[in-house]
Amino acid sequence: MNWWLIANGIIGIADVILNHLQATAAQERQRWENEYKVVETQIQQKLQEDQYTVDFQVLTNLHFESMKIAGHAHGLLEDSRIALKAIGEAIVETAKEKNRLIAEKRSISFNQSRANALEQEINALIGLNNHLIPDKDQIKIQRDHFESQVTEFNSRTHTLKLAIRDRCGEKGQDWYKRLEARRSINQLNRDRAAEGLPLLPMPESTKSPRKPKQTPRVFPKIRGTVKWFDPSKGFGFIIPDDRRPDVHVNKKNLSGIYSLQQDDRVEFERMIGNRGPWARNVKRI
Amino acid sequence: MAVNNKIIEVTPTGEVSFPNDVTNFLQALSSLGALSPIIGQIIAVRVQMKQLQNDAEEIKRDYEARNKIIDGAMKYAIQQLELQKIGMKKYFEYASKQLELSRIDNSERGRVMQSMTRLMSDPKASIEEKRLAQETIRAMSSDMIISQETGSTRLSALIESSNKNLLSIPSLAGLLPPAKQ
């Protein structure tokens, strides 16, 4: 009977302990799950930020390239228009001059030598127009080509601009705002220049934020003892005081000294190369 | 044998000078600044070379008409043509070196063409100047096409490079189609 009571008691206690453990485990699991969610969110955020950064770099580079191409095509288009205007005028004037000479030739038909000279001039003008007309057609083809490139690359630049705004997080939105502000000021300045007014300066807020200057990397100074150094070969090894592996030293990395001897105490910067650690800026102490 | 008036004198050593007054022509080239004398000389040498070709053809016709007999006058004319050819070759070598570092853009060419177009119908201009104006228009027109073609080649290279960058980024698929060159 006693045994039965004891056994029941033990079972009851075990049950309580088990319940307690289960509750604790559930709490722990909940805590762990919450932490996991937090960490996962942080990782996702970091990944998203990284993706934004990558997209931003890629898209802004493409935007810059696209603008450059549109600008180049626009310059060529303007050149074609200048060429077309100049060639067109030359064709018209050549034809007028030719007609004038033809009329003159008709009026002086009794003067053979003058008529021959006029004939030569007329032929030269016909030759010139025969040269200019295909040139004009060629330039027209080039103009149409450049016009389509300008349209295409202006549209591409616009698409990229919107993609940077919408796909690159805050960085992209900030870039877009600055770009639009610069564009408005440039437009205002174009109008002011046309009116002969002084140009407005570009506000600092529209410029790209400057990257902080990178401070040069400083390597900690390590102390150690020369294990051996062969002056004829120009290299040796140092045993560092921090008990890490021996460091190779070459004479070209000695600073203010020309050679080393065994057991010299030295100070140096430890670098890691393909063949293991090596010492730079080695000074005797 | 009728030989045309000389537009420009060229010595066998490649020195050049204008025998006639071509002030109007040089004035019409003045928008090219320091380059205008050399461009004027090149145009004149080109016109002169065309004249030489015509003269050579006339000599050939004369030679055939006289049953292939070369007399003293004809021999002298052939020698003179040969000397001028040598001088012009030397001049072109010198001129191409002078122009190597210079660049004329299409807006300058356009301005020159407009001046030359006016000169072509100017009653004050001499016949030589008109011929020079025509040759300048012809040369500037051809140069404009060459300049546009060079620009077009550079544009194609830029587009090709941009397309490569675009296609190398899968995340941008569908955002932009590759541009036509």
**Model confidence pLDDT, tens digit, residues B120-159:** 989 889 888 999 999 999 999 999 999 889 888 888 888 8
Q: Give the Cβ contact number of residue B32 at 10 Å.
A: 19
In this prediction, residues B45-70 reach a mean pLDDT of: 80
Amino acid in the structure at residue B55: D
Give B11-34 pLDDT, tens digit per residue: 878 788 888 888 899 999 998 888
Kindly list the distances between the CA atom of residue A143 and the CA atoms of A48, A58, A74, A121, B139, in Å, as whole numbers in the listed order: 44, 31, 10, 32, 20
User: Is residue B99 over pLDDT 80?
Assistant: no
Is B3 contained in some domain?
no
Cβ neighbors of B19 (< 8 A, separation 6 or more) are B6, B8, B9
Number of domains in chain B: 1
Is B123 contained in some domain?
yes
- What is the overall mean pLDDT for chain A? 87
User: Is residue B83 over pLDDT 90?
Assistant: no
pLDDT given for residue A53 in this prediction: 80
Nearest beta carbon to residue B145 from set A90, A117, A135 = A135
Is B175 contained in some domain?
no
pLDDT given for residue A128 in this prediction: 93
Cα–Cα nearest to B165, from A68, A66, A71, A179:
A66
In this prediction, residues A106-119 reach a mean pLDDT of: 83
State the smallest CA–CA distance between residue A166 and chain B in angstroms: 12
Amino acid in the structure at residue A35: E
Is B1 contained in some domain?
no
Give A57-84 pLDDT, tens digit per residue: 888 888 988 898 899 999 999 989 999 9
- Is the complex ipTM more than 0.90? no
Stronger pLDDT, A1 or B105, i.e. the higher one: B105
pLDDT tier, B76 (very low <50, low <70, confident <90, very high otherwise): confident
Is there a contact between B148 and A76 if contact means CB atoms under 8 Å apart? yes
Amino acid in the structure at residue A237: F
pLDDT given for residue A279 in this prediction: 92
Q: Give the Cβ contact number of residue B155 at 10 Å.
A: 20
Nearest beta carbon to residue A89 from set B106, B114, B148 = B114
Helix, strand, or coil here: A203? Answer: coil
Q: B31, B108, B113: best mutation site toward chain A, by most A Cβ within 10 Å?
A: B113
pTM of the model: 0.65
Evaluate whether the domain defined by A221-284 bears CATH number 2.40.50.140: yes
pLDDT given for residue A84 in this prediction: 93
Per CB-CB distance under 8 Å, the chain B contacts of A159 are 175-176
Give A211-269 pLDDT, tens digit per residue: 666 665 667 888 999 999 998 888 999 999 988 889 999 999 998 888 899 999 999 99
CATH number listed for the domain at residues A1-167: 1.10.287.1490
| Ranges of CATH 1.10.287.1490 domains, chain A | 1-167
Per CB-CB distance under 8 Å, the chain A contacts of B143 are none
Is B127 contained in some domain?
yes
User: Is residue B87 over pLDDT 70?
Assistant: yes
pLDDT given for residue A132 in this prediction: 95
Which residues on adjacent β-strands are paired with residue B42?
none
| Ranges of CATH 2.40.50.140 domains, chain A | 221-284
Is there a contact between A86 and B121 if contact means CB atoms under 8 Å apart? no
Per CB-CB distance under 8 Å, the chain B contacts of A149 are 155, 159, 179
Per CB-CB distance under 8 Å, the chain B contacts of A146 are 152, 155
Rounded Cα–Cα distance for residues A220 and A182 (Å): 46
User: Is residue B63 over pLDDT 70?
Assistant: yes
In this prediction, residues A118-139 reach a mean pLDDT of: 92
Q: Give the Cβ contact number of residue B136 at 10 Å.
A: 28
Give the residue carrying structure tokens 């045993």.
A239
Rounded to the nearest 5 degrees, what angle is found at the Cα of B176, between the Cα atoms of B171 and B181? 125
Per CB-CB distance under 8 Å, the chain B contacts of A55 are 171
pLDDT given for residue B3 in this prediction: 47
pLDDT given for residue A122 in this prediction: 93
Domain holding B77, by residue range, is 9-168
User: Is residue A87 over pLDDT 90?
Assistant: yes
pLDDT given for residue B2 in this prediction: 46
- What is the overall mean pLDDT for chain B? 83
Stronger pLDDT, A44 or A89, i.e. the higher one: A89
Cα atoms in the 13 Å half-sphere on the side-chain side of A207: 7
In this prediction, residues A9-19 reach a mean pLDDT of: 87
Per CB-CB distance under 8 Å, the chain B contacts of A128 are 134, 137-138
Six token digits for residue A27: 């709490």
pLDDT given for residue A256 in this prediction: 85
Cα–Cα nearest to B48, from B18, B74, B76, B75:
B18
Is B29 contained in some domain?
yes
Is B111 contained in some domain?
yes
Is there a contact between B148 and A139 if contact means CB atoms under 8 Å apart? yes
Nearest beta carbon to residue B169 from set A58, A65, A86 = A58
Is there a contact between B172 and A69 if contact means CB atoms under 8 Å apart? no
Q: Give the Cβ contact number of residue B76 at 10 Å.
A: 10
